[in-house]
């Protein structure tokens, strides 16, 4: 491991060395079966037992209630941009069967609006913007209506960048939407919802409308909020606030958990809907592999899963559990981000760095900043490279520097980077 770089890449990203060493053994011989993990049948008793263990490691560490199922699939976060729309519109159609006599006469709840489910998107960065764009593609023809609840760019310093979580008064949610979507951590822009409940940059859970129409006898019928969250770059780095209030939480594995190829879903039971029954009622047909209910009914084994990624995710989560779970990681990740932002602020004070994201909206996992001055960014990256530090270049769409501090980035790695940042500040100022 002496030749390994100190790696701050945004995804795929660093994995713990002990896990990589263990996985190397598993590639040759998985649990004394004599068969490598990339070779063994996904229906073997050894692998299915491993999958069950992985599920329970996630359930225990994140405290997932029995109301929610944990599912594994492929296709990454991007595939869920589509699956979310299709499954949630199918659910909406089953809850609101088209009634041609009532539709248009305003008797059915919301009239015509009820016919086309509203898809509420909270847009705070490049990934939620992309998810909303995919939703717009999929509702062409009238199957739904995309409503941008809020767009962070409208509240930015320059009027065009994602550099903030807007304040709560900026959000306009629809009545009885088919889904409400947000991205917890925007990997490219370095913007993240605060987990401090009293912070202005927290997600406005209190504004979600939990009950709407009246049920039989006029009693208010409590509707479960169709809240969907993309946790791709912040999954398992600290506990998830209000997890039980989410309809769906999903994440690609390739930041904190393991190699790419595995997508983890936490889905509330009422969102595991029969997409074929919904299609009978006029919803768009859903490909079998994108239906969450298919995954649930087959124990995430409808087709061959990403066996090796699942294996590595299991090793990572076992290690996390042994170290003290999410509380341990939350504290460590807090110390890491505080140190790096402190160095960014120090550099800002000396005119060397410029923090991009507004105070309170900064991501813990992806710290983005600019290096001021002609050729200075190149000098920063070259100096880092000489010290064996890689993966610091910002996303191609926004430039600048991005330091990704996922779980496998150690405090020693972070300290080494901070030390270098301080040296750079001294040299440049
Ligand atoms: N959402 C977020 C927050 C991401 O960071 C990414 C990938 N970097 C995606 C979605 C897309 O994920 P994938 O590449 O797995 O499709």
- Domain end point (choices 319, 336, 352): 319
Q: How far is the CA of 11 from the centre of ligand 1 (A)?
A: 8
Q: How far is the CA of 202 from the centre of ligand 1 (A)?
A: 21
- For residues 348 and 275, membership in a common domain is answered with no
Let me know if residue 23 belongs to a domain. Answer: no
The single residue listed with the structure tokens 């999410």 is 326
The answer, yes or no, to whether any atom of ligand 1 lies below 6 A from the CB of 125, is no
Q: How far is the CA of 30 from the centre of ligand 1 (A)?
A: 29
- Domain end point (choices 302, 319, 336): 319
- For residues 65 and 205, membership in a common domain is answered with yes
Q: What is the pLDDT of residues 138-163, one digit of tens each?
A: 999 888 999 999 999 999 999 999 99
pLDDT of residue 20: 97
pLDDT of residue 216: 54
Q: What is the pLDDT of residues 375-422, one digit of tens each?
A: 999 999 999 999 999 999 999 999 999 999 999 999 999 999 999 999
Nearest atom (ligand 1) to Cα of 125: 3
User: In CATH, what number is assigned to the domain containing residue 376?
Assistant: 3.90.1150.10
- For residues 297 and 350, membership in a common domain is answered with no
Structurally, the chain folds into a number of domains equal to 2
Q: How far is the CA of 260 from the centre of ligand 1 (A)?
A: 10
Let me know if residue 244 belongs to a domain. Answer: yes
- For residues 254 and 105, membership in a common domain is answered with yes
Query: What's the pTM value of the predicted model, to 2 decimals?
Result: 0.95
Let me know if residue 275 belongs to a domain. Answer: yes
pLDDT of residue 109: 47
The answer, yes or no, to whether any atom of ligand 1 lies below 6 A from the CB of 233, is yes
- For residues 141 and 289, membership in a common domain is answered with yes
- Segments of the chain with pLDDT less than 70: 1-2, 99-114, 210-222
- For residues 244 and 364, membership in a common domain is answered with no
- Give the range of the structural domain holding residue 239, as residue numbers without chain letter: 50-319
pLDDT of residue 209: 76
- For residues 271 and 298, membership in a common domain is answered with yes
ipTM comes to 0.99
The answer, yes or no, to whether any atom of ligand 1 lies below 6 A from the CB of 117, is no
Nearest CA to ligand 1 atom 2: 232
- Domain end point (choices 286, 319, 352): 319
Q: How far is the CA of 217 from the centre of ligand 1 (A)?
A: 46
- For residues 232 and 111, membership in a common domain is answered with yes
């Amino acid at each position: 491991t002496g030749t390994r770089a100190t790696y701050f890449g945004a995804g795929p990203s660093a994995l713990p060395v002990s896990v990589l060493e263990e996985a190397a053994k598993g590639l040759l011989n998985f649990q004394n079966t004599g068969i490598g993990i990339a070779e063994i049948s996904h229906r073997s008793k050894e692998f299915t037992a491993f999958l069950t263990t992985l599920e329970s490691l996630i359930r225990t560490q994140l405290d997932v209630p029995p109301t929610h199922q944990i599912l594994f699939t492929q296709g990454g976060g991007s595939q869920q941009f589509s699956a979310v729309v299709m499954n949630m519109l199918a659910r909406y159609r089953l809850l609101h069967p088209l009634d041609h006599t009532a539709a248009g006469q305003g008797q059915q709840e919301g009239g015509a609006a009820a016919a086309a489910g509203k898809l509420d998107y909270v847009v705070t960065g490049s990934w939620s913007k992309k998810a909303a764009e995919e939703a717009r593609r999929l509702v062409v023809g009238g199957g739904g209506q995309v409503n941008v609840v809020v767009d962070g760019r409208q509240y930015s310093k320059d009027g065009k960048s994602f550099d903030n979580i807007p304040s709560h008064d900026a959000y306009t949610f629809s009545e009885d939407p088919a889904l409400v979507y947000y991205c917890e951590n925007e990997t490219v822009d370095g913007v993240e919802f605060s987990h401090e409940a009293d912070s202005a940059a927290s997600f406005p859970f209190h504004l979600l409308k939990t009950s709407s129409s009246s049920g039989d006898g006029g009693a208010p019928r409590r509707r479960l909020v169709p809240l969907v969250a993309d946790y791709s770059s912040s999954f398992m780095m600290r506990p998830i606030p209000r997890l039980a209030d989410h309809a769906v939480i999903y994440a690609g594995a390739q930041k904190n958990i393991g190699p790419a190829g595995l997508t983890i879903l936490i889905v509330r039971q009422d969102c595991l809907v029969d997409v074929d029954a919904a299609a009978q009622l006029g919803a768009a047909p859903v490909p079998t592999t994108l239906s969450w209910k298919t995954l649930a009914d087959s124990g995430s084994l409808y087709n061959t899963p990403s066996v090796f990624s699942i294996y590595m995710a299991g090793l990572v989560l076992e290690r996390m559990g042994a170290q003290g779970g999410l509380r341990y990681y939350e504290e460590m990740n807090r110390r890491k981000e505080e140190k790096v932002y402190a160095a960014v602020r120090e550099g800002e004070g000396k005119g060397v760095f410029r923090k991009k994201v507004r105070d309170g909206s900064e991501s813990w996992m992806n710290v983005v900043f600019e290096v001021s001055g002609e050729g200075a960014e190149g000098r920063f990256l070259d100096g880092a490279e000489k010290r064996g530090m890689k993966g610091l270049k910002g996303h191609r769409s926004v430039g600048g520097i991005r330091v990704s501090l996922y779980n496998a980035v150690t405090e020693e790695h972070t300290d080494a980077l901070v030390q270098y940042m301080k040296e750079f500040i001294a040299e440049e100022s």
